[in-house]
Amino acid sequence: MYLINIKAAHSSLGTDNTRQIEITTASLSNRAPSADAGADLAASEGATVNLDGFSSSDPDGDEITYVWTISPSVALKNADTPAPSFAAPSVTSDTTYTLTLAVSDGTDAATDTVAVTVQDASR
């Protein structure tokens, strides 16, 4: 906040007026969002795996966007939402998939990962 004093004087009229103006500036700093990809999961082959990024947030209240990626590659449904899903593929042994959630408030970004272990049904 700034206080500015403005003085207006007119010598021939003998007037002298002072006014104070208060200027409040908005904070220009942006705080980064936080990403929360949820707890690690285990799933059986063929099961639908539902992910949960709803605990991600932005401390400034900015709207955030979501982008999920998975490795090894599997088709993700709704990868740009807080709650995507995928069908656990057939595996020849227990296989762990790493999913990364990236959230952005348009200025800053954050990431978090979650591991999903798909269990081999033949064991």
- Strands laid side by side in the 41-44 sheet: 41-44, 109-119, 95-104, 65-71
Question: pLDDT tens across 15-36, in order?
Answer: 667 777 777 766 668 999 999 9
Q: Are 56 and 82 in contact (CB under 8 A)?
A: yes
Q: Whole-model pTM?
A: 0.77
- Rounded Cα gap, residues 39 and 113, in angstroms: 9
What is the CATH code of the structural domain delimited by 41-119? 2.60.40.10
Question: pLDDT tens across 79-113, in order?
Answer: 999 999 999 999 999 999 999 999 999 999 999 99
- Rounded Cα gap, residues 15 and 74, in angstroms: 79
